[in-house]
Amino acid sequence: MSDRVLGIDVGGSGIKGAIVNTRTGKLLTQRYRVKTPIPSTPKAMAKAVSSIARHFSWTGVIGCGMPGPFKQGRMMMVNNIDKSWVGLKANEVFRRATGCPVTVVNDADAAGLAEMAFGAGKGHRGVVLVVTLGTGIGSALFADGHLVPNTELGQLQLNGKRAELRASARVRKDKHLSWEEWAKRLEEYFGALELYFWPDLIVVGGGVSRKAGKFLPKVGIRTRMVPAMMRNEAGIVGAALCARSSRRHR
């Protein structure tokens, strides 16, 4: 199988794609982005993903990260996209739209796989948590480099609310929180994760990781915390990695 895979990252506000060299983790093209349709129904999303494949004149393997957990290819719940996805085999929806073999994975798991292979988690043993702060909060848990899929730790309860409704990057923007105010919420969240998992390292990703210096030093927990290195490319690269691995094991 070729090392070249089209990686696509489906987010609550945008869908981004690029051709990835899965051996090096490098993007071989510029990212191409389209807006996430409203409503984000399977038909509308399939059209958007197909437009990305057409942009690259792509006919090969596609890896796609989506915001929700999967069992045997079916979405079990959704985060920040239309509820009509629940129970569907997303890979089949996208395969029919693109005419290409598609592997679909939880988007935070995809970002985590990229960070562990090429980014801030590379070479780290023990328990590593990769947490993405964006429209919601995604998580990927690794034990000695092995992924524990579909952890969905953004769903933890903080003060009677889901964590992602209190501490996501979107909440910071929507509520006009200062970096210090947001850091207090993050400290509460990461402190809970620390008590549950006692990780050896926490990698903090999402677009806001570019400004990690403004908030990470203000989060007072014992676990070492570092900003992600792959940043907005993580979901694309990780989805491509997952697709390559899936095709090789068939």
Q: Name residues of the chain where pLDDT drops below 50.
A: 249
Beta bridge partner(s), residue 132: 138, 205
Given this model, what pLDDT does residue 116 score? 97
- DSSP classification of residue 126: S
Q: CATH classification of 4-106+233-248, choosing from 3.30.420.40, 3.30.365.10, 3.40.47.10, 3.60.20.10?
A: 3.30.420.40
Given this model, what pLDDT does residue 246 score? 75
Given this model, what pLDDT does residue 80 score? 77
Given this model, what pLDDT does residue 71 score? 87
Q: What is the CATH number of domain 120-229?
A: 3.30.420.40
pLDDT, tens only, 87-136: 999 999 999 999 999 999 999 999 999 999 999 999 999 999 999 998 88
Q: H or E element: which one contains 179?
A: helix 179-197
Q: Do domains 4-106+233-248 and 120-229 have the same CATH topology?
A: yes
Global pTM?
0.92
The domains of the chain are located at: 4-106+233-248, 120-229
**Cα 137–143–144 angle (5° rounding)?**
135
Given this model, what pLDDT does residue 32 score? 97
Given this model, what pLDDT does residue 207 score? 87
pLDDT, tens only, 160-173: 999 999 999 999 99
- Strand ranges, E, within 76-182: 102-106, 127-133, 137-143, 146-148, 157-158, 161-162
Given this model, what pLDDT does residue 81 score? 87
Given this model, what pLDDT does residue 196 score? 95
